[in-house]
Structure 1
């Protein structure tokens, strides 16, 4: 294996990364080159990263105009290796979590309480796909972005937060996506009330985090919905009170309306399919029911909704990153984990080295994992 640089600051780094050369994969472990951080940039040594279903969507080419070859991954944690000019909030050695959702604190969105999709978001995403890239392999530019499937990544300082160094990096990497997104969908987006009834479609990491959020918010009845009954035991530990396999119910919406006496107070869709989104919305209570869409449809796929359902007092909401303001809130969530309020360990079913990334994706496809965490080792 190629020898690593011992003095990396200010130098081009040669390191390992999982490169996706074409739509459909597989990922190939390559030696890549990473440039030093430029103005407003931070270079991070990644310690661990989760495999998210969104990464599978990127692999399949379902998230819009993504340019290949690329380095995927967005749910990571690590340690600052070096900083570029005009970076004042971070220094070498800081324990950090890269954030796919930036927070500039200056735009109209960042200044609005309860809003979290920073106006810089699309600009930074476009820059990662079309602008100069710090990553290259075999003489080719690699599309970057968050790029946590690499031993090192370079991110804009708006996409990074410093966390408590006591937190285990191979656990809190999930704070980069799964935990805040699902948990926040319940406590921030839906604002679940104590004593309410909730239903969650999809028991992947996002759905399970939503269940945890519903439980912490005080919901008295939490219905977990998935075709994989093996996931109910974890859902129960996180707060679910009952489980429904939709393949065993002729009409799921009618069934939910019946067993809840007219509809669910709060529903959460964490599958990312048109049919389940429609079910989640139509299963809410007339007059006040709230449906939160967590799952992501393939780019360009519409969601047909009858206006009648809105007129009957139902509300449908979308959420990104659980409506948390990324730089402000993720460090607080890490502290809540350290204090025992938020559970992470139950979500991690597999831990693999980077070299087994394709095995991790196969576990995801077969429904055998909740979250697989990839770890990095240096030689």
Structure 2
């Protein structure tokens, strides 16, 4: 492409500091260096983790920054030494990279890649310790290996997955985070078994994807838990057998669930990132064999306090990052499954907005009026 090797000027939603609205700015995006690719974004979802970063709840975030991590786009150019990608390829950026070489990438028990950690990579910067973004003469930081709230972004080749050339470049962006995280937490992490009972705390995009995963795994009872009753219709459409609002009861929600299930649930998923509901989710699991999966991302400053005695009888607590999927291996397969209609991403999308209306999209999230809003470029 004629832009290869050149600085590209484009629009991006810049976050200058925490708690401030996004500012649509013209930014300069430098060419990719060795083992990097530059992507022209087509669509990106708004995720709760982006909101946590915006509110300064994630210590890993340095401002000013370009957020966003749930995108899909087309390779514009590649840096020296890049293998497996060429200009024109359709790709999904990966906030969970996969180098395929480190001890964890080679181990089937985890989907964590240790390369960014072991190389001492500075937070918010590329592997060489520099940024590819500048605006008004100032360096901007990268976010989660991706920074998808920009028309162009530069990412490491280990942080991208090439997808089917025929894949639609819209809703598949959800496979970059929200859908895969929820769906995989049931399929991979919990390993929900047929006939089991499940409860999902939080019926946002991730929680609803978890409901879809529980249904696909054959759970016989799937209870959605949320304080927003407006989400119940969609949850039942996607597989929840019933939904309850904790505000409707004068007792702790875990006690309600234990009473309604005769002792507790086989699997409980916390998809909010609230430390209080994490404790409730753990206590709602069956005392002898229940499994609780922590899916939601809590603020970095929060902690949970749990009575260790509740685990002695057999409870298990797990966490699920990106649904346990090894990203470069799994994302292309998930895209193919979507194209083959093995699951329906379309039902998770409630709003579509241009990048310029990103603040409106976050307002929808804060008010609980959206499941997933997709921004287009």
Indicate whether the TM-score tops 0.5.
yes
What secondary structure sits across from 1:61 in the alignment? coil
Instruction: Give 1:263's aligned residue.
Output: 264
Structure 1 residues 258 and 372: CA distance shift in structure 2, 3 A: same
Q: Show the counterpart of 1:274.
A: 275
- Whether the aligned pair in 2 keeps the contact of 1:101 and 1:121 (CA below 8 Å) is no
Q: 1:144-155 counterparts in 2 under 5 A?
A: 144-145=142-143, 146-155=146-155
Q: CA deviation at 1:7?
A: 2.5
Q: 1:143 aligns with which of 128, 141, 144?
A: 141
Unaligned ranges ≥5, structure 1:
1-5
The residue aligned with 1:3 is none
Corresponding residue for residue 73 of structure 2: 78
Q: Distance in 2 between matches of 1:121 and 1:174?
A: 24
Could you tell me which residue of structure 2 aligns to residue 228 of structure 1?
A: 228
More moved, 126-135 vs 238-247 = 126-135
What displacement does 1:129 show?
Answer: 4.1
Listed as ranges, the matches of 1:55-94 within 5 Å are 55-94=50-89
* 8 A contact 1:133–1:141 mirrored in 2: yes
- Residue deviations 1:33-65 (CA, integer Å, cap 9, x gap): 011000000000000000000000000110004
TM superposition shift of 1:125? 6.6
Check conservation: 1:129, 1:144, Cα contact below 8 A. yes
Number of aligned residue pairs: give it.
371
Deviation of 1:233 (Å): 1.1
Q: Structure 2-normalised TM-score?
A: 0.96
- Relative to structure 2, which stretch is displaced further, 242-251 or 366-375? 242-251
- The within-5 A match list for 1:100-249 is 100-122=95-117, 126-129=122-125, 131-145=129-143, 146-249=146-249
Alpha-carbon shift at residue 292 of structure 1 (Å): 0.2
User: After superposition, what is the alpha-carbon deviation per residue over 1:336-365, rounded to whole angstroms, capped at 9, x for unaligned?
Assistant: 111111210011100000000000000000
Q: Distance in 2 between matches of 1:320 and 1:125?
A: 20
Aligned to 1:46, the other structure's residue is in SS state: strand
Separation of aligned partners in 2, 1:125 and 1:34: 20
Name the SS of the counterpart of 2:214 in structure 1: helix
Q: CA deviation at 1:114?
A: 3.0
Tell me if the contact between 2:73 and 2:92 (Cα under 8 Å) persists in the aligned partners: yes
| Separation in 2, partners of 1:270, 1:124 | 30
In 2, the alpha carbon distance for the partners of 1:56 and 1:66 equals 12
In the aligned structure 2, how far is the partner of 1:300 from the partner of 1:363?
Answer: 26
Q: TM-score, normalised by structure 1?
A: 0.96
Matched ranges for 1:368-379 at <5 A: 368-376=369-377
Deviation (angstroms), 1:214: 0.2
The answer (yes or no) to whether the contact 2:61–2:123 under 8 Å persists in 1 is no
Equivalence for 2:27 = 32
1:353 aligns with 2:348: no
* Stretch of structure 1 that moved more, 177-186 or 245-254: 245-254
Tell me how far apart the structure 2 counterparts of residues 228 and 368 of structure 1 sit (CA, whole Å).
Answer: 10
- 1:13 maps to which residue? 8
CA distance in 1 between partners of 2:298 and 2:210 (Å)? 18
Structure 2 unmatched ranges of 5 or more: none
Distance in structure 1 (CA, Å) of the matches to 2:235 and 2:242: 9
